[in-house]
A and B are shown apart, each in its own frame.
Chain A
Amino acid sequence: MTRPVNLDLTAFRFPIAAIVSILHRISGIVLIVGVGYLTYLLSLTLKSPESFDWVFNAVRTTYHGVLVWIVLTAVAYHFFAGIRHILLDFHIGDSLVVSRRSSWTVLVVSGIASIGLGWWIVT
């Protein structure tokens, strides 16, 4: 006997919900590593005025900016999809139409947040 995998039956009828769900999982896994990295950078900003300047410069001008952007995008996505997930857990908005629309909302809002974060990082 196999027990059911953590899968969402609506996923088969509505691929958009499947995409939102798998991205939530991927973003969570990215965050495990990403949060360690952000914590390290944050600790450097608090160490000395020099390392404070170094971090903000590195994030603006080097590959650290790309890494920070990826992690912050994962935070934003996981956050919005997580809120949707919790609402669905309590059967809020779990009708066909609404859950499909909220999937799109999560993708669009996260996309906008990601662009905004990118802009914030480089300016």
Chain B
Amino acid sequence: MVDRYLSESRGSKRGLIDFIVQRLTAIVIGIYVIHLVVIFALNGDMDYAAWRSYFTSGYSLLLSSLTVLAIALHAWIGMWTVGTDYIRGEGIAKTLRLTYQGLIGVALVFFLIWSLGLIWGLL
């Protein structure tokens, strides 16, 4: 797998960086998922006050911010890979592929700004 990424036509260096970033962001998101499961398991029935005070703690604000950033990067690389797998070639296919990438990019930038706004808007 690593070897394959090294030879992807996107340029070996960029391909390797993508590969590493996708794994690192996967780990960050994974940690967030595990942490949510633990929170739910430890505090079965949180009321609104407890719930809100947890999500507005400095620790949660930072971890959430890091996680939405990781999601945006991870999803960008993931969807880029999916796009280049299914929409191949020059000409109209290239236009289609670039349009697809543009839409994904816009959606993810929107997601990032929106979710960071939600997180820090809690304060």
Residues of A near any B CB (own CB < 8 A): 2-6, 25, 28-29, 31-32, 35-36, 39, 43, 45-46, 48-49, 52-53, 75, 79, 82-83, 86, 88-90
- How many A-B pairs have beta carbons closer than 8 Å: the answer is 52
The yes or no answer to B17 lying at the interface (CB within 8 A) is no
Q: Is the CB of A25 within 8 A of B82?
A: yes
- Give the distance in Å from the alpha carbon of A5 to the alpha carbon of B87 in the complex: 11
- Give the distance in Å from the alpha carbon of A90 to the alpha carbon of B5 in the complex: 12
**Which residues on A sit within 8 Å (CB–CB) of B2?**
89-90
Q: Is the CB of B88 within 8 A of A35?
A: no
Q: Is the CB of A79 within 8 A of B81?
A: no
Interface of B is mostly: helix
- Give the distance in Å from the alpha carbon of A36 to the alpha carbon of B22 in the complex: 19
Contact pick for A36, options B9, B26, B48, B111, CB 8 Å? B111
Q: Is the CB of B51 within 8 A of A5?
A: no
Q: Is the CB of B23 within 8 A of A46?
A: no
Extra pairs beyond A25-B82, A46-B122, A90-B2 (12, CB < 8 Å): A6-B81, A6-B85, A28-B78, A29-B79, A35-B111, A39-B68, A43-B118, A46-B52, A75-B33, A79-B33, A86-B23, A89-B19
Residues of B near any A CB (own CB < 8 A): 1-2, 4, 8-9, 19, 23, 26, 30, 33, 48, 51-52, 55, 68, 71, 75, 78-79, 81-82, 85, 88, 107, 111, 114-115, 118, 122
Report if A45-B51 is in contact (Cβ < 8 Å); known contacts: A6-B85, A29-B82, A35-B71: yes
**Which residues on A sit within 8 Å (CB–CB) of B88?**
2
Report if A49-B48 is in contact (Cβ < 8 Å); known contacts: A3-B8, A25-B82: yes
- Give the distance in Å from the alpha carbon of A62 to the alpha carbon of B107 in the complex: 28
- Give the distance in Å from the alpha carbon of A83 to the alpha carbon of B71 in the complex: 16
- Give the distance in Å from the alpha carbon of A32 to the alpha carbon of B111 in the complex: 10
Of all A-B residue pairs in the complex, the 4 with the closest CB atoms, nearest first, are A89-B1, A49-B48, A52-B48, A43-B118
Q: Is the CB of A46 within 8 A of B55?
A: yes
**Which residues on A sit within 8 Å (CB–CB) of B30?**
79, 82-83
